[in-house]
Structure 1
Amino acid sequence: MKNNNIFTSLTAAILLCFSVSTSFSVLAASAPEVQEAEPEKGPHRGRMLREDNVALELAIFETGVPPEFRVWMTDAGKPVSPNQVDLNIKLTRLGDVVDDINFRVEGDFLRGDLEIYEPHSFVVTINANYQGKNYRWQYDNFEGRTRIEPAVAEAMEIGTDVVGARTLHQTIPAYGRISLPASATHNISARFDGVITKLLVKQGDLVKQGQTLMTVESNESLKPYQITSPADGIVTEQYANSGEQTASKTLLTLTNTSQYVAKLAVYPADYKNVVVGTPVTVKVEGYDTPLIGKVDFIEQKVRDDQAKLVWVSIPNTHDALADGAFVNADIEVATIDVPLAVKKIGLQGFRDFTVVYAKVGDQYEVRMLELGREDGEWVEVLGGIALGTTYVTDNSYIIKADIEKSGASHDH
């Protein structure tokens, strides 16, 4: 039976490619949905809990204060003085975290001594002592929570990471073109004019530094001498052939394409943030791997649009670069170490909050986040999730959709 269930779940996962609504209906590993009756509400809009003639109203109050419990009790329909009730409430959260709440008398009600932080998702256990008798109630108050079988989560490629310290790399975008540095081109000519007796290379050939390119017989001495390559490169132009006079002209042009320069436009608002040595990530159209470099030079002349050009040397590792190609880049303007961060890809909206989904076993639940600084991949977390928490990164929208399908809400 267990294998059949896993097979069914995996089948459902595959069907997502054809029908999102169908797959969401089978993602949760819980029992079929049952329409639950709305809990009874009291005069303070709290949940009513009853035993014999005793009734307790438990409300979450959050007008002008952080969310807290407030409790009223009646006996046979008549108000009970809060001084007569000894009350304790325990909230058991996902991961067996327990909030222990005690109460003090305030006016005609009992007031909890602990803030009920988000999410308001827990098992509520109430223990009350009134006139020597113990009363106990327990109910589930879940929100933003779902359960997904591990086999389904794997099939849906739900990825996770762990909340921890990160280094944020804040950047500004820049655009430009790549070109060859001035040192990349060598024009080859003869030291002494004469006849080219042997031409050993042709246009398009790769040559190495020190390699013999041609032999020339001097017109004056009638002795042959060799012309060698001053650097590694490609023969990009050929202006002479064997048997021709050198005639004091350029015979070959060699171009070294191992290194290019990206010339990027930086505008006045960012002048102060970009200096020689600033790290840069360059992305070339049609080339998947970003190229890493740093600012080598900043032109002091501004263009008509008031941009300065900054030069970044980038390696032509896979011979994928070409003179004149358009590029875009991220210029790093700040490096910030933060104690807590999450991947931006995992962020989702829940009610009025930005959240990630914490994972405990096969259960997932919202964590409402207070966010700070960010870079292209990470965002700093100021509150709402603990260090070391496993949370969903890839395909977090699947968790969001399954939770929204359940429509679970919480008491207020």
Structure 2
Amino acid sequence: MKLPSIHMFLFIFLVTLSHGQLALAREANSDMAEEIEKGPNNGRLLRQDDFALELAIFEEDTPPEFRVFITQGEQPVDANEVLVNVKLTRLGNVIDDINFYPENHYLRGDMEIYEPHSFVVSVHAEYQGRQYQWEYDNFEGRTKISDQMATAIELNTATIGPKTFDESLKVYGKIRLAPNAMRHVSARFDGQVRQLHATFGQRVEKGQLLITVESNESLQTHKIFAPITGVITEQNTATGEQTQGKSLLTIIDPNQLMAELAVFPSDIHKVSLGAPVVISVPGSEQVIETKISDSLVTVNANQSKVLLAKIDNSDGYFNPGQFVVANIALGSYQVPLAIESEALQSFRDFTVAYAKVGEEYEVRMLELGRQVDGWVEILGGIKSGTEYVNKNSYLIKADIEKSGASHDH
């Protein structure tokens, strides 16, 4: 069984065990929701004697706002003759105090009703010397889970705050030898190879004696030394053979490698020469840190630009021809607010996180920005210092969906 399934099973079990009356309570709330009377403007209709107040959220071509329509004895009341105040008590005892002013045949609220539309609604109205009051719950995307249960199901939290983003670009490439890492060894004069002091596969040091050649003209012997440190990867001669102006040995220095990294045209402007880069081979834990040193003049068949990065392979972890993954550092910057991407869930048409206040959890509709390494920049929708669920937030989503919390206007 997968771990999320275990969490879900435990969560359902604990809810059933600790909150045996939860289903009955939700059923009662559902029945109450069905009894809510709606007015002609699709708002909630509040009655007292023959006085009726319809409180509707209007959000067509405007940010959400309250509008109030008044009737008495089923007849419209002049909006100029009524005073209305609405207080919305949000989670954490945050109160939105809304006053109204006449507009056409209705009263219009003086502030935006921001998401989530989850609050206790207190309505006060004055008309012809009489006062009218109503109060009701209008919750959405909210649930309550005891701290004991939250601990049992590993419902972890963190705090919204600033974050330094180290932005990087992931690219792919291939390792090849550095330009000066291969040397072909030949004789200056034609002659006979009298002795091979090193052969194929052998490692040699710079300056080490490789071949003794006897000149065909002077019959004097000449010594050929290794021009670089490395491994003999090709041998095209043997003792007694003529040199004939050909390459006798090929030496490769495997410590001098180069990574060719392909960067697409849409990203090339983000990368600068000297940018730090971390290179690894898929399936291996070995990594090397280096820098972008140069680029090729031409582009690949897919129009990607090839950037070069030198690799010091003294430890011998890499080999020419290997495919590599590289993360090129693009820069570091701080964002005022950030959230772990694992915390994000969907709710209606929004991407949300779940804020925690005491033992209650509620959605926060987020406006998101840049994404870097498991973190997402927050542009709006939640305040700094808010405690939020950063692990197993899908359990909160499941409980809210099971509760049938609605978006009631």
* Superposition TM-score, scaled by structure 2 size: 0.72
Match of residue 396, structure 1, among 376, 393, 398: 393
Q: What pairs with 1:214-229 in structure 2 (closer than 5 Å)?
A: none
The reply on whether 1:358 has 2:346 as its aligned counterpart is no
Secondary structure of 1:404's counterpart equals helix
**Do 2:11 and 2:153's aligned partners in 1 also have CA atoms closer than 8 Å?**
no
**Do 2:11 and 2:395's aligned partners in 1 also have CA atoms closer than 8 Å?**
no
Match of residue 64, structure 1, among 58, 61, 69: 61
CA distances 1:358-407 after superposition (whole Å, capped 9, x unpaired): 22233222221223333343333222222232333333322222222222
CA distances 1:78-101 after superposition (whole Å, capped 9, x unpaired): 444334433211111122211110
- Mark the CA change 1:315 to 1:398 in structure 2 (over 3 Å): closer, same or farther: farther
Which residue of structure 2 aligns with residue 48 of structure 1?
45
Match of residue 286, structure 1, among 283, 287, 296: 283
Which residue of structure 1 aligns with residue 127 of structure 2?
130
Amino acid at match of 1:361: G
CA distances 1:336-365 after superposition (whole Å, capped 9, x unpaired): 543333333322221111222222233222
Secondary structure of 1:153's counterpart equals helix
Which residue of structure 1 aligns with residue 261 of structure 2?
264
The reply on whether 1:17 has 2:5 as its aligned counterpart is yes
Which residue of structure 2 aligns with residue 96 of structure 1?
93
**Do 1:347 and 1:355's aligned partners in 2 also have CA atoms closer than 8 Å?**
yes
CA distances 1:5-60 after superposition (whole Å, capped 9, x unpaired): xxxxxxxxx99635847744745976513222221212222112233443322111
Aligned mates of 1:204, 1:49 — CA distance in 2: 94
- Mark the CA change 1:254 to 1:329 in structure 2 (over 3 Å): closer, same or farther: closer
Amino acid at match of 1:346: A
- Mark the CA change 1:264 to 1:115 in structure 2 (over 3 Å): closer, same or farther: same
Report the CA distance between 1:144 and its aligned residue: 1.3
Aligned mates of 1:60, 1:274 — CA distance in 2: 49
Aligned mates of 1:251, 1:62 — CA distance in 2: 81
Aligned mates of 1:348, 1:16 — CA distance in 2: 15
Aligned mates of 1:113, 1:95 — CA distance in 2: 23
Aligned mates of 1:204, 1:17 — CA distance in 2: 57
Q: What pairs with 1:4-403 in structure 2 (closer than 5 Å)?
A: 17=5, 20=8, 23-24=11-12, 26=14, 32-33=22-23, 34-35=26-27, 36=29, 37-38=32-33, 39-179=36-176, 181=178, 261-288=258-285, 291-313=288-310, 320-333=317-330, 335-403=332-400
CA distances 1:267-295 after superposition (whole Å, capped 9, x unpaired): 44444443311232334211347654320
Query: Once structures 1 and 2 are overlaid, which stretch shifts more, 322-331 or 165-174?
Result: 165-174
Secondary structure of 2:405's counterpart equals coil
Amino acid at match of 1:55: A
**Do 2:89 and 2:121's aligned partners in 1 also have CA atoms closer than 8 Å?**
yes
Query: Once structures 1 and 2 are overlaid, which stretch shifts more, 48-57 or 347-356?
Result: 48-57
Aligned mates of 1:295, 1:165 — CA distance in 2: 30
* Superposition TM-score, scaled by structure 1 size: 0.72
Structure 2: gaps spanning 5 or more residues: 186-192, 210-224
Aligned mates of 2:265, 2:81 — CA distance in 1: 71
CA distances 1:152-195 after superposition (whole Å, capped 9, x unpaired): 3334444444333334454444211234546778999xxxx999
Aligned-residue RMSD, C-alpha: 4.6
Structure 1: gaps spanning 5 or more residues: 1-13, 215-226
Secondary structure of 1:17's counterpart equals helix
